[in-house]
């Protein structure tokens, strides 16, 4: 043990998941389909034809999974709600059975001493709302506020932390620009509209919370620090465009009430003029911001890489995960300190951080050895501690993910879990990374100093 790595008193230790990735039973008990249910069952969209019909079967096994959380010593569990499970049409009639599932999950967590942290939207928009235009429809902000108010009224008496959106950039880039994720659109003109309406929806959800809630609410962004490949003017400009597109496009309207000027360069004639009044909605006071960090990008100018005219440069002689992401823990420090410089001393949480690596075959009764993931976890927790020493108001850390799960269109081949899941039998097996994380939690960080 090393007291040098001790985290501040009150620092929150957790793990995170999302509904479509783990729950399974997506149409059970009166639930409506989501865009991911549709997308996953569209031929050719998912690796190996995978889908979330069973996933980790968490909908039926949630009590067992809460016991795994307790075994880790988790203080908080971050999960998302399947909007269409609660509102099958996205608005209107509430499905009591769907809402009851989340109420039972919250109660089970509290009975085990684990604080629920609820994300309202983690990419699975009700299909009925997509039929009405989805995030391209300005009414989407009102749909989201209606749904949010229902959830607050039902659960805020027991839920201390809420998040409006998770990673809106992924929704826009994958779902509206490149077509690799639900709803599968490829349209440059749609992307900024969807992005803007997502941030309007987040603001409307926060307004609804101020009317109904009494604890804390924030929003979660995935931030990928951008570093220029050289000091050339072209590479520096490309890096600014990449940063504006991935990072500032969402944080700026939420926290500054504006967009960075580089977005006009990115979108060109596809960039619309948004009403000034919209920024009074997007910029709502938040109690915290969650930041998801996985990797960095080294950027060079590339006229063929549209719309950014910027391309990532592979870094040789570095460790890369199975998703091709460079392991670069200093990027976590740079992300946290850079966010503080731009937006001020907002309370921050690392709401996702993790890595997909190859896992060896499971031997029954043994802990699965995952040295690369264990090393990744240790390095990034030490980096989080360095950010706190640098003055960042970091309040907690959520490992991604509690369980191996459906990695969206990549299917089940990419494993991020602290617990290995045999998807044929649903057996959960702890990994060495889980054992390290349990020791870190129990020692409040001091176990990071172990040899």
Cα-based distances in Å from 391 to 8, 334, 348, 384: 12, 12, 12, 11
Q: Rounded distance, CA 359 to CA 373, Å?
A: 9
Q: Please, are residues 197 and 204 in contact by the beta-carbon 8 Å criterion?
A: no
Q: Please, are residues 145 and 204 in contact by the beta-carbon 8 Å criterion?
A: yes
Alpha helices in 112-229 (DSSP H): 127-130, 140-155, 168-172, 190-212
Q: Rounded distance, CA 414 to CA 321, Å?
A: 10
Q: Rounded distance, CA 91 to CA 144, Å?
A: 9
**CB-based burial of residue 371 (10 Å sphere; 0-12 exposed, 13-18 middle, 19+ buried)?**
exposed
The alpha carbon of residue 125 and the mean position of all alpha carbons in its chain are separated, in whole angstroms, by 15
Which DSSP string do the residues of 41-97 spell out, in sequence order? TSTTSSGGG--SSSTT-HHHHHHHHHHHHHHHT-SEEEEE--HHHH-TTSSSS--HH
**Could you tell me which residues are beta bridge partners of residue 403?**
419
The token pair that represents 208 in the structure block: 């609804």
Active-site option among 23, 167, 262, 329: 167
Q: Rounded distance, CA 376 to CA 354, Å?
A: 7
Reported for 185-194, long-range contacts at CB under 8 A and 24+ positions apart, including other chains, are: 188/267, 188/270, 188/307, 189/270, 190/136, 191/267, 191/270, 192/263, 192/267, 192/270, 192/271, 192/272, 193/135, 193/136, 193/272, 194/134, 194/135, 194/136
User: Is 352 assigned a catalytic role?
Assistant: yes
Active-site option among 224, 262, 352, 407: 352
Question: How many angstroms separate the first and last alpha carbons of the chain?
Answer: 9
Q: Please, are residues 328 and 225 in contact by the beta-carbon 8 Å criterion?
A: no
Q: Please, are residues 7 and 56 in contact by the beta-carbon 8 Å criterion?
A: no
Report the candidate in 154, 57, 133, 28 with the shortest Cα–Cα distance to residue 90: 133
Report the candidate in 276, 282, 278, 74 with the shortest Cα–Cα distance to residue 165: 282
Alpha helices in 363-431 (DSSP H): 371-389
**428 SS3 class:** strand
User: Is 23 assigned a catalytic role?
Assistant: no
| Residues with active-site annotation | 167, 352
């Amino acid at each position: 043990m090393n007291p040098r790595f001790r985290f501040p008193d009150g620092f929150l230790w957790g793990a995170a998941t999302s509904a479509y990735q783990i729950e399974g039973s997506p149409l059970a008990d009166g639930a409506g389909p989501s865009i991911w249910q549709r997308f996953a069952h569209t031929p050719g969209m998912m690796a190996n034809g995978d889908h979330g019909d069973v996933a980790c079967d968490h909908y039926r096994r949630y009590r067992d999974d809460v016991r795994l959380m307790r075994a880790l010593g988790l203080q908080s569990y971050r999960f998302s709600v399947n909007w269409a499970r609660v509102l099958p049409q996205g608005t209107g009639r509430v499905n009591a059975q769907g809402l009851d599932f989340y109420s039972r999950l919250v109660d089970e967590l509290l009975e085990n001493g684990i604080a629920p942290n609820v994300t309202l939207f983690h990419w699975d928009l009700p299909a009925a709302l997509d039929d009405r235009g989805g995030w391209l429809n300005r009414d989407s902000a009102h749909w989201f506020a209606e749904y949010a108010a229902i959830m607050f009224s039902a659960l805020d008496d027991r839920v201390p932390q809420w998040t409006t959106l998770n990673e809106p950039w992924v929704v826009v880039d994958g779902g509206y620009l490149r077509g690799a994720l639900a709803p599968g659109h490829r349209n440059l003109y749609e992307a900024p509209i969807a992005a803007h309406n997502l941030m309007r929806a987040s603001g409307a959800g926060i307004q609804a919370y101020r009317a109904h809630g009494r604890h804390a609410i924030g929003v979660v962004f995935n931030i990928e620090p951008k570093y220029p490949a050289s000091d050339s003017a072209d590479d520096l400009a490309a890096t600014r465009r990449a940063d504006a597109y991935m990072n500032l496009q969402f944080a700026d309207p939420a926290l500054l009430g504006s967009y960075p000027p580089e977005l006009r360069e990115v979108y060109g004639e596809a960039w619309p003029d948004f009403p000034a009044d919209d920024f009074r909605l997007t910029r709502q006071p938040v109690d915290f911001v969650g930041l998801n960090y996985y990797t960095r990008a080294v950027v060079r100018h590339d006229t063929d890489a549209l719309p950014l005219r910027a391309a990532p440069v592979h870094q040789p002689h570095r460790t890369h995960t199975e998703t091709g992401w460079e392991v670069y823990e200093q990027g976590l420090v740079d992300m946290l300190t850079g966010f503080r410089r731009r937006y001020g001393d907002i309370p921050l949480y690392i709401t996702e951080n993790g890595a997909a690596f190859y896992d060896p075959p499971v031997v029954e009764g043994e802990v699965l050895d995952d040295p690369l993931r264990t090393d990744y976890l240790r390095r990034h927790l030490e980096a989080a501690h360095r950010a706190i020493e640098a003055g960042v108001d970091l309040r907690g850390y959520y490992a991604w993910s509690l369980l191996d799960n459906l990695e969206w269109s990549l299917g089940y081949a990419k494993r991020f879990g602290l617990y290995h899941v045999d998807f044929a039998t649903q057996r959960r097996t702890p990994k060495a990374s889980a054992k390290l994380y349990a020791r870190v939690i129990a020692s409040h960080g001091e176990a990071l100093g172990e040899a």
